[in-house]
Amino acid sequence: MENLVEKLEKLKSLIKEKEKLIVSFSGGVDSSLVAKLAFDMLGRNSLAVTIDSPVFPRRELENAKKIAKEIGIRHKIIKESSLGKKFLSNPRNRCYYCKKEEAEILLSLAKELGYKYVADGVNTSDFSDYRPGIVAVNEANFFHPLVEANINRKEVRLLAKKLGLSNYDMPSTTCLASRIPHNEKITYDKLTMIERAEDFLFSLSFKQVRVRYNNKNAIIEVYPEEIHKIFVNRDRIVKALKRIGFSKVTVDIEGYKELI
């Protein structure tokens, strides 16, 4: 069984072989590790690209800018202002349609700039979940360096810490649309409400937040050990979320569970 040092060396080798590489970059730990090693191995022949879409929170866009600057890699942000009808109808495989659009944008950019490969941050743990988005990037022949080096989610964080990435312990992130139940139509107004509500809760120093949208009701998820803070700030939270447009504000007392 390979140890972590061996896996890191394999990962470096896999990336170096590509010579020129675009990294699909969200600023999360997975894509940050790939971007860091792409820059270390390829320098100016590496490029981090972030797709700025309506489902990508502003706070995460700012984080992506910060981490790219920290790494030193060139960073390009592409604005995607609209979402496709299939995605907005919110089927169970909605991620497929989103990732398909993003893949087309990245492949078009790669062709324009003379890059043969686009890498992402998919790791081996992702295959234990239902991830229709992976089908789309596989169809686009994306390079999955973490998978090829047999690296899982826990090992990503260990390597990110070893390489000095400041976001090595950053909580997992998902797009804003993931807060809306499947088959309930996604609208730009709903996405805005969710983002504003989460931003407010993050301003109260919660480490992780999800505001689930269900028929104009807000269902708040935070880490179990932080649930008591919701009740300490109950009046402020209820007032703020109702001002945003939610009819009712509730709390999931099981709390948010981080994927392992």
Q: Which of 149, 121, 109, 122 is nearest to 32 (CA)?
A: 121
State whether the Cα torsion 16-18-24-30 is positive or negative.
Answer: negative
With contact defined as beta carbons under 8 Å apart, do 204 and 222 qualify?
no
- What's the residue count for the chain? 260
pLDDT for res 82: 79
Q: For residues 244 and 218, what is the distance between their CA atoms, to the nearest angstrom?
A: 11
Please report, for the chain, how many H helices and E strands are present, in that order: 11, 7
pLDDT tens, position by position, 73-107: 999 999 988 789 999 999 999 999 999 999 999 99
Q: Quick one: 154 exposed, middle or buried, by C-beta within 10 A (0-12, 13-18, 19+)?
A: exposed
Tell me what pLDDT residue 108 has. 97
Specify burial of residue 219 (Cβ count, 10 A radius: 0-12, 13-18, 19+): middle
What percentage of residues in the chain have a pLDDT greater than 90?
93
pLDDT-based confidence at 130, cuts 50/70/90? Answer: confident
| Average pLDDT estimate for 228-248 | 97
DSSP state of 233: T
Name the residue among 10, 57, 50 with its Cα closest to residue 31: 50
Q: What is the mean pLDDT of residues 233-258?
A: 96
Answer yes or no: are the C-beta atoms of 87 and 98 closer than 8 Å: yes
- Chain segment 144-184, per-residue pLDDT in tens: 999 999 999 999 999 999 999 999 999 988 999 999 999 99
Residue 255's pLDDT band (cuts 50, 70, 90): very high
Say what the pLDDT of residue 258 is.
Answer: 75
What's the confidence (pLDDT) of residue 143? 98
Closest CA to 119 of 105, 102, 131, 137: 137
**Per-domain residue ranges of the chain:** 4-162, 187-251
- Averaged confidence pLDDT in the chain: 95
Superfamily of structural domain 4-162: HUPs (3.40.50.620)
Closest Cα partner for 59 from 20, 19, 34, 27? 27
